[in-house]
Chain A
Amino acid sequence: MQAHAKFTTIAWHRLLRSGDWGMLGVSALLVGGLFSQFWSKQVADVVVVRAGGKVVAELPLRHNRLLAVRGALGETLVEVRQGRARIARDPSPKQYCVRQGWLTHPGETALCLPNQTSISIPSPHPAFDTVGY
């Protein structure tokens, strides 16, 4: 009898009970949510480190690391951690770039002007940084 039913003759949908349909729907939403959570911010995946106007490193944001860069005044310490980047230490007197904190989004930049070092997360569609009239 049914034991030898062909694949196509099995009424697969009748094997599901009402709660199963609900569970399927909820878990499909969960999968969709995971895609939007982990795959939507794909653009912020690298930080560009510059010293004296030259690019000295491009660090992937996926890997935690510390990088020391020589500037005009001394050493700038760049930290990449959990998809973010910051200037952890810098000899510039006013510490603007250090106090700027973590960069997370494309288009963001932290500039240590006296030491001539900077980090920035490049954006594929650069936003305006200055508008003049």
Chain B
Amino acid sequence: MSTPASSVVLTATPTDHAIARWAALAVALSLVDASLPTPLPGLKPGLANIVTLVVLMRFGMGAAVSVSLLRLVATGLVLGSLFTPGFFLSLAGGISSLAALTLAWKVLPKAYFGGVSLSLLAAFAHLAGQFALVRFWLIPTDGIFYLIPPFAAVAWLTGLVNGLVATHLLRVHFLERPPSC
């Protein structure tokens, strides 16, 4: 296979470029997250989720999934944590929150539920996914349930703040107005 008979040409569409740009922004925010000091490992604001939310509300679920998964793998590469337990923790959280977002995006009526609801659901799903992985794989004892309450409180707060920021950014930059205004 030293000289391939034919070569495959991959053409990046403008959509691909846009997704790559959003993912790059999300990676930058993930790095900010990773560099913030925290009292408990894993307790962080999840700033990259703002990007996921904005992309979801602006471009739909498919784009949000791409950006989120690209961000997870690229952040793993940059931090050197690819395929370490920390990476799988992020992946479990990311996949869970994407699943929750998919469901919420389909089910919740958009006239009543905005970015904050999506953000909160994603935050709690993230937490649930991570703790499921920790309980069944990394630390298989019920003792870790003791850590759930503070993490849930932080998930509530970061879910609210990230949801507000995402909604605000959408409204300012894409002039998306909710029906009530």
Q: Which residues of A are in contact with B by a Cβ distance under 8 Å? A: 2-3, 5, 10, 12, 14-20, 23-24, 27-28, 30-31, 34-35, 38-39, 62-64, 82-83
Contact = CB atoms under 8 A, between A and B. Distances in A.
Contacts of A35: 149, 153
B98 interface: no
B166 to A, nearest CB: 9
A23 B171 contact: no
A57 to B, nearest CB: 18
A68 B26 CA distance: 53
Interface string B131-150: 00000000001110110110
Interface in B126-181: 141-143, 145-146, 148-149, 152-153, 155-156, 159-160, 163-164, 167-168, 171-173, 178, 180-181
A38 B173 contact: no
Interface string B114-135: 1111001100100000000000
B25 interface: no
Contact of B160 (A24, A38, A62): A24
B142 A31 contact: no
B146 A39 contact: yes
| Chain A facing B: main interface SS | helix
A67 B21 CA distance: 57
B149 to A, nearest CB: 4
A17 B180 CA distance: 8
Contacts of B113: 17, 19-20, 23
A62 B116 contact: no
Given A16-B114, A27-B159, A62-B146, 19 more contacts: A10-B168, A15-B168, A16-B116, A17-B112, A17-B178, A19-B108, A19-B112, A19-B113, A20-B112, A20-B163, A23-B113, A24-B120, A30-B124, A31-B149, A34-B149, A35-B149, A38-B145, A39-B146, A64-B141
B141 A15 contact: no
User: Which A-B residue pairs are the 10 nearest by beta carbons?
Assistant: A19-B112, A62-B143, A19-B113, A20-B116, A23-B117, A35-B149, A15-B167, A17-B114, A31-B152, A34-B149
A15 B168 CA distance: 7
